Structure 1
Amino acid sequence: MTTHSWPRAAGLLLHPTSLPGPDGIGVLDGYVEGFLDFLVAAGQTYWQILPLVPTGYGDSPYAGLSAFAGNPLLIAAETLVELGLVARERLRDRPPFPADRVDYGAVIAWKQALLGEAFERFATSAPATWQADFEVFCRTEAGWLTDYAQFRAIKDAHGGRPWHEWPPALRDRQPDALASVTRELGAAMAAHQFQQWLFFRQWQRVRESCHRRGVRVIGDAPIFVAYDSADVWAHRALFKLDAQGHPTHVAGVPPDYFSATGQLWGNPLYDWRQMAATGFAWWLARMRHLFRLVDVVRLDHFRGFAACWTIPASAPTAATGRWVKTPGRKLFTALNRAFGSLPIIAEDLGVITPDVVALRDAFGFPGMRVLQFAFGGDPTNQDLPHNYVPNAVVYTGTHDNDTTVGWYASRPGVGSTREADAIERERAFCRAYLNSDGKEIHWDFIRAAYASVAHTAIVPMQDVLGLGSEGRMNLPASERGNWSWRCHRQDFASAAAARLRELAHLYGRLPG
């Protein structure tokens, strides 16, 4: 078994939707280049992102409509103009989007209209070379793309209703019904295939820009997929569903730091016996696809590969679940056999038991340490830097945490299960440990992460900018206002890059 070799390095966490720009949402345009230049100036090796998938309920990248498809909202309007697929005059009709947040409803309506116009022009007047390239893409990606295009076309034709509410023949993928879809909704299917062709063309250029600068991309793979997704609809036998397609049990986590009743995610659970019977073919295809898009994969909820918190589908909260073992060792053995060295980061946060540690260490995966979790206990806390091991990735915070400044200023209430006296004890311990007065707590956190023995240190862009809770990306167990934070153009021209580079040099994290 071969294990991945990790340099001592640093990186920043910023999802593309958080980039600045006029489209109302960050897109794959010149602002990516500006951010990559910032990474290089700051002495960074990694750019970490969230899942790139098309988002569904709640606009969450962790509840995508497909584990394979790309998010068409990331296609830049300017690129459609440059390709001659949309008239430049159309950009004058761009709504007055807010600069610091994503208004998903407005962005989706505007971008879908532009993409619809682009497809019509492509279908009628695209150069033959583009048409040929598109056809090659559709054939090459048919293993997931055909199902996805059918899923999206049917969903659109039924007012966006989830697949388990479709007519039984479509819900159950009866061959005659699918043949009718291909005949009657062929243009709609082609439109979704076209959007994927555009997305992956743009993302490939982003990857090339990264590699020219020596920047490596860390992607994110949620362990579960959304119930209302092409993956579950097309592969029902691989999930714990009843005869009508309803989940019998769903995923989540028990009560923890984020929620007193746990988190009821609602994702259908895998039928691991069926997965193993296929040689984990779906997982192999998923990871092969992902490794074409990113250089390193962060496996979200890694402990679920040792055991899953299984909740009856009828339960009102996650508190009534139980742990059920999963065949992670067999899965990773299959992945290792297929791909050799696995550049995987194990998100091993939460309730971690010896079997999870054994699984992680058996394959040499680095685990995660989060500084915001370090100060609520005593000096034995594994998230305190003096307890780290080299094979680890340290974060000041993650996309699920408040910003570091917001955490330090926190009060009892929404987003925290801590009482006032516990919060103050944490702050006092934090100041003593970091020898800090708290005035630049974000930079004190960054320094501590960089100084640690962990081979990789990742910092959310919000912490580099010293933002408070207004910069928070996600509040777990909440359904509104998440995934919408955006930065500004001037953030990439700040003195922060020089300060980061100085710390990267001081603690041996500059690219080799």
Structure 2
Amino acid sequence: MRKSGILLHISSLPSEYGIGKMGKEAYRFADFLAETKTGLWQILPLSPTSYGDSPYQSFSAFAGNPYFIDFELLEKEGLLKKDEYTSIKWEQDKEKIDYEFLYENVYKVLRKAYSRFEVTPEYRLFEMINRKWLGDYALFMSLKFRYDGKPWYKWPEELAMCEKNAVKKAKEELKDEIGFHKFIQFCFSRQWKALKEYANSKGIKIIGDIPIYVSLDSTEVWMTPELFELDEDKKPVAVAGCPPDCFSPTGQLWGNPLYDWDYHRKTDFSWWISRIQNAAETYDIIRIDHFRGFAGYYCIPYGNKTAEVGIWKKGPGAKLFKKAEEELGKLDIIAENLGFLTPDVQDMLDEVGYPGMKVIEFGFSDSKNDYLPHNFTDTNSYSYTGTHDNDTLVGWYKSLDKDSKNFCLDYLNVKLDIQIPEAMLRLVWSGVSDAAVAQFQDFIDADTDCRMNIPSTLSGNWTYRAKKKDFTDKLKAKILKLNTLYNRCSELPEDTEETVTKECKAEESPDSSCDEKLKAAKKPQKKADTDKPEPKPHS
């Protein structure tokens, strides 16, 4: 079935509290998608951000971002008083996210909620289900707050090296603080599951992201160094990145520690399988970032200032994903197969059968370019105008040289620059790929200042915020027309129809009544009353 999606991270949703939340505006966006018959909502990693505010540099591979917890929902549960969060001026800049300000204020509000929290059986179940990672993460964050946010490798040596007695003592001394960080994750989990359930009920699947690497300053590197290529002092032997290319003359130096794949093979990839399982429970579809790194990965000596010097090493290949599917069953995965591709990457992709990605912005060099839709042969793919690492369509077109602009105008059969975004959307939606996806910014003709990320830059990224006024009836009609015109309209979930049918049988209703109920269920929904959605219990 052909489908379509919009890429808009939780952080970018409209909000009165400095960053997008999992409250009313998230539910309204789900309604917006349903009303436009858009079946996919793509987001970035939900994990707590660390270095550079990037969701791809996180304190944990398993935890959720505290900034996304909705205060209004906590108030409804009796854990907050309204003035405890509305008295704070959250929006220093309505156009951009200020992560430093959030760090200084969000935790203060959440501590007030924690002061009123009473342990419940639901919370105990959450603790038990997530015991493999929750305790370590809560201790890690407690120590991070104790040491003024310093990375673990700048803590006292006995704690940095996870000496048994030092860790035991810290757990005793920080018992309440550990409880606080567990509480945060409990709140995140409940709110996220409720939002996802709501989106699913509207026929929307959520595409989430697994970054291939974890941050050096993370729970995993601190507590389980055996997973990574580290020396006896827990310093990386080499770090991750990409070699120089036409986009980055000095390459991309990400700085993440590399995996000890020999260790992962010996343990039947158990840590990776746990990570994939967590993602499969969190999202409907998993996008695996830097998929080519599982075939072969680029190693840069630790301490280098650029990625110009490095070597390629062989990764685990398809064995990891075959083992994961043995353990977890068939997985719905998108492979981010961009970057420097070699035959072994395509072989791995063919072996696992996952759809790859096509980014149309990469295509406008000549008619033989593989990223132009007339050269697509595989419907098992996801086509994008651009990803979170690309410029908006408006900014991208402005950056092209004269020849590329002329080729673009000819290819799209338009005469004016202002027609480019609409024509590019039509190009992607009309293509053969099973799924067509665009950044929200590309639907509203946003310029470069609304770009989400510029790779290899350390500041000014991940700050884009959509506005309430962006979500107009005109935009809704535009997206619905695209989906209708190119046969990409989402359908009502099967279980919704089954539920209506069961209700009819239980009521012994005549067939005409059932027909009316089914029509009502399939009819585009009016805006739901989602100002204060009920939190759903964890399961």
2:255 match: 266
Alignment counterpart, residue 384 of structure 1, candidates 369, 372, 377: 372
User: What amino acid is the match of 1:20?
Assistant: P
Aligned residues of 1:239 and 1:270 also touching (Cα < 8 A) = yes
Matches within 5 A, 1:220-259: 220-259=209-248
The equivalent residue for 2:164 is: 175
Tell whether 2:93 aligns with 1:107: no
1:110 shift after superposition: 1.5
- After TM superposition, give the deviation of residue 340 of structure 1 in Å: 2.4
- Contact kept? 1:41, 1:498, Cα under 8 Å: no
1:143 partner letter? K
Q: Report the equivalent of 1:38.
A: 32
Name the structure 1 match of 2:309: 320
- Any idea what SS the aligned residue of 2:216 has? coil
Output the amino acid matched with 1:200: S
Q: How many angstroms does 1:493 deviate by?
A: 2.6
Shift of 1:100: 2.0
Look up the SS of the partner of 1:217 in the other structure.
strand
Matched, 1:450 2:438: no
CA contact (8 A) 1:262 1:318 kept: yes
Q: What is residue 58 of structure 1 aligned with on the other side? A: 52
- How many percent of aligned residue pairs carry the same amino acid? 41
Query: What is the distance in 2 between the residues matched to 1:49 and 1:257?
Result: 28
Alpha-carbon distance in 1 for matches of 2:255, 2:150: 17
Residue of 398, 404, 413 corresponding to 1:435: 413
Shifted more, 336-345 versus 20-29: the winner is 336-345
| Aligned residue number for residue 403 of structure 2 | 425
1:49-70, Cα deviation, whole Å (9 max, x unpaired): 0000000011100001001000
Distance 1:239 1:40 in 2: 42
Q: Distance in 2 between matches of 1:250 and 1:457?
A: 34
Contact conserved, 1:258 with 1:476, CA < 8 A, in 2?
A: no
Q: Distance in 1 between matches of 2:60 and 2:287?
A: 18
Work out the CA distance in 2 between the residues paired with 1:230 and 1:306: 26
Q: Give distance in 2, aligned partners of 1:266 and 1:96.
A: 32
Deviation at 1:233, TM superposition (A): 1.1
Separation of aligned partners in 1, 2:473 and 2:218: 41
Aligned to 1:295: 284
CA contact (8 A) 1:34 1:492 kept: no
Q: SS of 1:495's equivalent?
A: helix
Q: For residue 204 of structure 2, what is the amino acid of its counterpart?
A: V
Q: How big is each residue's C-alpha offset from its partner over 1:282-331, in whole Å with a ceiling of 9 and x where there is no partner? A: 10000111111101011100110000011000222101011111112210
Displacement of 1:384 in angstroms is: 0.2
Check conservation: 1:242, 1:248, Cα contact below 8 A: yes
Task: Find the partner of 2:139 among 150, 154, 158.
Answer: 150
TM-score, normalized by length of structure 1? 0.93
Aligned partner letter, 1:474: N
Instruction: Choose from 3, 9, 25 the match for 2:3.
Output: 9
* Residue 93 (str. 1) matches residue 101 (str. 2): no
Distance 2:352 2:86 in 1: 53
TM-fit CA distance, 1:392: 0.9
CA distance in 2, matches of 1:196, 1:372: 38
Residue pair 1:406, 1:469 contacting (<8 A) in 2 also: yes
Matched position secondary structure for 2:466 = coil
Match of 2:116 in 1: 121
1:480 aligns to 2:459 (yes or no): yes
- Residues of 2 paired with 1:379 and 1:131: CA distance? 62
- Whether the 8 Å contact between 2:85 and 2:109 is mirrored in structure 1 is no
| Inter-partner Cα distance in structure 2 for 1:454 and 1:333 | 25
Asked if 1:81 corresponds to 2:75, the answer is yes
Give the Å deviation of 1:440. Answer: 2.1
Contact 1:43 1:501 in 2 (8 A): yes
Change (3 A) 1:119 1:254: same
User: In the alignment, residue 482 of structure 1 is paired with which amino acid?
Assistant: N
Following superposition, the deviation at residue 115 of structure 1 comes to 0.6
For 1:350 and 1:162, the matched residues in 2 are separated by 30
Paired with 1:477 and 1:235, the residues of 2 have a C-alpha distance of 27
Equivalent pair of 2:61/2:214 in contact (CA under 8 Å): yes
Structure 1 gaps of 5+ residues are 1-6, 412-422
Cα–Cα, structure 1 residues 358 and 149, in superposed 2: closer, same or farther, change >3 Å? same
Please say if residues 20 and 99 of structure 1, whose CA atoms lie closer than 8 Å, have aligned partners that are also in contact.
Answer: no
Tell me how far 1:478 sits from its aligned partner: 0.8
Alignment of 1:271-350 (within 5 A): 271-350=260-339
Distance 1:277 1:24 in 2: 45
Gap regions ≥5 residues in structure 2: 492-539
For the Cα contact (< 8 Å) 1:9–1:44, is it kept in 2?
yes
Give the counterpart letter for 2:431 in structure 1: S
State the one-letter code of the partner of 1:434.
L
Residue 397, structure 1, aligned to residue 386, structure 2:
yes
- Which stretch shows the higher mean deviation, 432-441 or 228-237? 432-441
Q: Contact 1:263 / 1:477 at 8 angstroms: preserved in 2? A: yes
Per-residue Cα deviation, 1:399-429 (whole angstroms, up to 9, x for no partner): 0111001111127xxxxxxxxxxx2111111
Letter in 1 for 2:445: G
Q: CA deviation at 1:96?
A: 4.8
Moved over 6 A (4+): none
Give 1:257 shift: 4.2
How many pairs are equivalent?
Answer: 488
- Name the SS of the counterpart of 1:390 in structure 2: coil
Q: Quick one: which amino acid aligns to residue 94 of structure 2? A: A
Q: 1:134 to 1:380 in 2, by over 3 A?
A: same
Q: How far is 1:105 from its partner?
A: 1.3
Residue 249 of structure 2 aligns to a residue whose secondary structure is: coil
